Structure 1
Amino acid sequence: MKKILAVLLAVSMTAVFGACSSGGGATSSETSEPASSEAAPESSEAEAPESSEASSEESEAPADTGNMPTVEKIKEKGELVMLTNAAFPPFEYVDGSEITGVDVEIAQAIADELGVKLSVTNMDFDPIIDYIKTGKGDLGIAGITANEEREKAVDFSTSYITTTQYMILPTGVDGATFDPNGKIIGVQQGTTGDNYYASDPEVMQPKEVKRYKSAVDAAADMALGRVDCVIIDEMPAKAIVANNPDKMQAYDPGYDKESYSIAMMKGNDSLKQVVDSVLQKLADEGKIEEMIVKHTSNQ
């Protein structure tokens, strides 16, 4: 497999993470190249629905159950559709023309349990919840934290990964004394680093928050001196830094722990039962940890 190119100078940033064996990759996939920083969100599907930051009233509106991708409908279709943002290694990233990673292998295990093929759609992170809410995909698997706002729109599986937010800092900066207040912070749009840490004035008060399609793009801008630090989940932070150890470092500020879960349409109990069962089996057999080691070592 080809080695990952350095995350610098704004070359095709998704391709930066094309460095893993295909493992449990999808049988078919759709990919869309991430746009440059601060562009309007795009997706690999038709026009995106309203943002997941819509009002609570809209979020709590009942879903169209006639469009619900139940286990029976998925089996009839012969296909399980996973929505993801393939710029979040080691969980999802692009290797050549293939989307792969820990989450893709988990989705493949769920598809195998259902006896159907797996199709992976690569899109912007921010609208994934809205797509799942309206039945435009079966599963949203993209390192998604099941927070209160998202739980108004979709149901979530049991958690399968526990993580925390890290800072990516330029080399030479002392993380212990670095103060993000009054600084320019780079984040991946729609993530915890964006919605909570960088955007909540009670948590921090940055000079400016720059939002990107991926943490890769944000780190590239940091290397060029355009942002002071990047806030992103622990393992993606470490994967980015591993490819640029002379330019950047990963620092643990001691933020709260959070967990990843799989998003499904509200009320989709039959699919949730299968997903939770597969996650439990993978965890009991130590397979998820093996996937993390495999995809991290190939970065």
Structure 2
Amino acid sequence: MKKFLAVLLAAVMICISFVACSSETKTDETGNDTQQATLTMATNAEFPPYEYKEGDKVVGIDAEIAQAIADELGMKLEIVDTKFDAIIPGVQSGKYDMGMAGMTVTPEREQSVSFSNSYATGIQSIIVKEGSDIKSVDDLSSETKIGVQLGTTGDIYASDDFGAEAVAQYDKGADAVQALIAGKVDCVIIDNEPAKAFVAANTGLTILETSYAEEDYAICFAKDNTELQTKVNDALKKLIDNGTVKTIVDKYISAE
């Protein structure tokens, strides 16, 4: 019996140790220790200025807005950098609490996940080489080789408009841009802010004046996670109303 109790006590101590390691202790205003829940956000740090890396840290508009949301909810933010097309499946499975990656609300995505209210408006732009025969959206056709990042709205829209054969998919937007420079594709369709960053970093490229599409960015959640969706929406509304979201966006995107 004593041996059984000793084993049971050891097991209990292991469980207590595990729980203590899997959560963060935070001291509140009264000096008492409280357990702080973690908010896990999946992103793809290849879309400056919305998300990109400085060293090993993910920074940008989405990272700062997510941190502000976590602060409002009294949670610790954990950002996981993954492939863009892995975000929605990861959120669906419960691997991540939410996905935030300059993600547009589309009917296709709404079949898989739920979305928050919009927090920013994005534009899909077209990058070409200087002197290209492609001067506007009207010059695109099924004969045009279009570079896109896999799983993005640029990928979805271009595939729908011009057929899958016209679209070359890449894991990263930067890889699509390098394919353009190498002459493997005729243009790249990508979000406007990353497009500006890529053009600034690579000589001989330009962005067409006419945009390809306009869209709203939002945060995605598993369809059954309505509690978190509501809490994030409430926090997001407060951050929009008090000017926090605008301040963050203005920090990264100057008025033109």
Q: Distance in 1 between matches of 2:66 and 2:56?
A: 18
Distance in 2, matches of 1:133 and 1:240, equals 31
The corresponding residue for 1:187 is 148
Aligned length: 219
Separation in structure 2 between the aligned mates of residue 177 and residue 104 of structure 1, nearest angstrom? 32
Letter in 2 for 1:260: Y
2:233 match: 276
Unaligned runs of 5+ residues in structure 2 are 1-33
SS in 2 for 1:143: coil
Question: Contact (CA 8 Å) 1:82, 1:139: kept in 2 or not?
Answer: yes
Q: Is the 8 A contact 1:185 1:206 kept in 2?
A: no
Structure 1 letter corresponding to 2:153: T
What runs of 5+ residues in structure 1 fail to find an aligned partner?
1-74
Asked if the contact 2:126–2:212 (Cα under 8 Å) also holds between the matched residues in 1, the reply is no
Amino acid at match of 2:102: G
**Could you tell me how far apart the structure 1 residues matched to 2:130 and 2:165 are?**
21
Separation in 2 of the partners of 1:263 and 1:137?
A: 10
Taking the TM superposition and a 5 Å limit, the aligned residue runs for 1:35-54 are none
How large is the Cα RMSD of the aligned pairs? 2.1
Which among 38, 43, 56 is matched to residue 97 of structure 1?
A: 56
Give the percent of matched residue pairs that are identical in Structure 1 and Structure 2: 44
Residues 253 and 177 of structure 1, relative CA distance in 2, 3 Å threshold: closer
TM-score (norm. length: structure 2): 0.79
Equivalent position of 1:285 in the other structure: 242
Q: TM-score, normalised by structure 1?
A: 0.68
**Following the alignment from structure 2 to structure 1, what is the Cα–Cα distance between the partners of residues 106 and 113?**
11
Larger Rg: 2
- Equivalent positions of 1:1-299 (< 5 A) are 78-173=37-132, 175-176=135-136, 179-181=139-141, 182-197=143-158, 199-200=159-160, 203-204=161-162, 208-244=166-202, 246-296=203-253
Matched position secondary structure for 1:145: coil
Confirm or deny: 8 A CA contact 2:137 2:212 kept in the other structure: no
Describe the superposition over 1:204-238 as per-residue Cα deviations: whole angstroms up to 9, x where unpaired: 25863211111111111211212110001111111
Q: Provide the secondary structure at the position in 2 that maps to 1:210.
A: strand
SS at match of 1:289: helix
Does the CA-based 8 Å contact 1:94-1:100 persist in structure 2? yes
